[in-house]
Structure 1
């Protein structure tokens, strides 16, 4: 049994098409079919049901699939370990980031690229749910997001900083001069909120459940940069994590009263999984960055 055969089998099982799997692997369909057939002959079982239009896994194929995936992952991890040792910090680092983390990431990105020019960075900005799915699928090496409300068995979370929800307005807004703002205060203005499903919105909805109040929500967006532009250009009010406006000009973050629950900014990684040297170094640099060391509570001063 060869790793190549297992890789061909897994791709065919995921695509449920020999032709699509062959295109994905950039090989001839006949080559893929032959290798899968040799694997079946060696195992003495049929792995796929075949007809002129499609393929499907047999019971034996479905049983083999998770073991094949695990074997390929272990093989890839072995290669990654040797590659790191041989090339030091060369290679590729895949980072998942929620929109709220964008402002605190820039400093570390610039420093890391300058210090390690041989490492290619792939940054994925998506909602937390999508990023966690990517992490479980090993499509990213780690995720920067607030701690989820429910624990995830295969993921471990390490806190970077504590954070709170805040009222965000432009610097000339009538609320900007207050030391703290209540729901009654913001109820006098139109709101522009992050879309449901984003972490700041989830946290705010939980806050509202404990402190019910009538609010006039005029617009919801899933793009934080556009949301902040709306705030800068109008008297709209939004609710975001304090970290979202770190180093932002033209806006002010004001604490909610009563104080909203903490939102812990975390690094999320798979448990019992090999850590790339580049990932370890990037996280270390992020922890030492001015954005993280300042801590959220200092940002209100």
Structure 2
């Protein structure tokens, strides 16, 4: 069994299209088919059902996929370990983050780049669910999120800070002068909220449900910058963590009375994955900023 065969199998499983998988791997379709057939022969079971021009993953293929991902990850860990012996003079760092944590990520990137200019950085924004899924597929080195992952032996959780929810309004609104606002008072106003899938939205829904209240949600959107643009028009209000609008000049966060729950900002990563020296260096910057 060769690592390239595992790479070919993983790509074919994810795309379920041998032609497209071969194109993305920069090999011929015949090479891809041959290598997967050799892998199947070695395993003694088909990984794909081939029906005409279509391929479908078998039960064995679905089960083998997770192990193939782990095998490639371990191999990459070994290679990275050897590269790290020479210090932080090359490499790549892939970071996933939710929008509400950009205020802590931006200065961290500046400090990291100043200290290690040879390290290339990739930053991916998304929902907690999307980013955790990409982390599990080893596409990201770590994730910054308000999603608290508990009772998962494969996830490492490093707390950064806590942030309360706020009622976000345009600064010229009369509501911006309020010291606090209650959940019942919020019912009088139209809301634009993050789409379902965002950890903050899930938290907001739980708060209203716990108090047996139904907010007036007229807009749901899966892009936080656009959501904030809508709030700046003054036509809608929203509920987000205070830190999400920390640097927004045209928005004000009004504390919500009787809502004591906190959103917990944290770094999450896979426990069994070797952590590159670049990852640990970035952690140090983030943890110092979060204290």
TM range (shorter): 0.7 to 0.9
Partner of 2:259: 259
Contact 2:73–2:138 (CA under 8 A) maintained in structure 1: no
| Residue matched to 1:299 | none
Report how far residue 259 of structure 1 moved.
Answer: 2.6
Residues 212 and 44 of structure 1: CA distance in aligned 2, closer, same or farther (over 3 Å): closer
Gaps of 5+ in 2: none
> What is the CA–CA distance in structure 2 between the aligned matches of 1:57 and 1:189, rounded to whole Å?
49
TM (norm. structure 2) is 0.86
Judge which range, 60-69 or 172-181, deviates more.
60-69
Are 1:89 and 1:277, in contact at CA under 8 Å, matched by a contact in 2? no
Equivalent residue for 1:298? Answer: none
Output one character per residue of 1:38-78: Cα deviation in whole Å (capped at 9) or x when no partner: 55566676665556524556777666554444332221111
Q: Aligned partners of 2:204 and 2:226: how far apart in 1?
A: 19
CA distance, structure 2, for counterparts of residue 227 and residue 238 of structure 1: 8
Q: Tell which structure's C-alpha radius of gyration is larger.
A: 1
Aligned to 1:88: 88
Q: What is residue 120 of structure 2 aligned with on the other side?
A: 120
Deviation at 1:96, TM superposition (A): 0.8
The alpha-carbon deviation at position 219 of structure 1 amounts to 2.2
Residue 277 of structure 1, CA deviation: 1.4
Query: Distance between the aligned counterparts of 2:59 and 2:177, measured in 1?
Result: 67
Instruction: Please report the TM-score for the alignment, with normalisation by the length of structure 1.
Output: 0.84
1:94 to 1:16, Cα distance in 2 relative to 1, 3 A: same
Instruction: Map Cα deviations across residues 191-234 of structure 1 (whole Å, 9 max, x no partner).
Output: 22222322222111111122234543332222222222222331
CA RMSD of superposed structures (Å) = 2.7
Match of 2:157 in 1: 157
Check conservation: 2:93, 2:119, Cα contact below 8 A. Answer: yes
Mapping 1:11-160, distance limit 5 Å = 11-39=11-39, 53-55=53-55, 65-148=65-148, 151-160=151-160
1:37 positional shift: 4.8
The number of aligned residues is: 291
Question: Post-superposition shift, 1:249?
Answer: 1.0
Deviation at 1:151, TM superposition (A): 4.0
Partner of 1:174: 174
Unpaired segments ≥5 residues, structure 1: 294-301
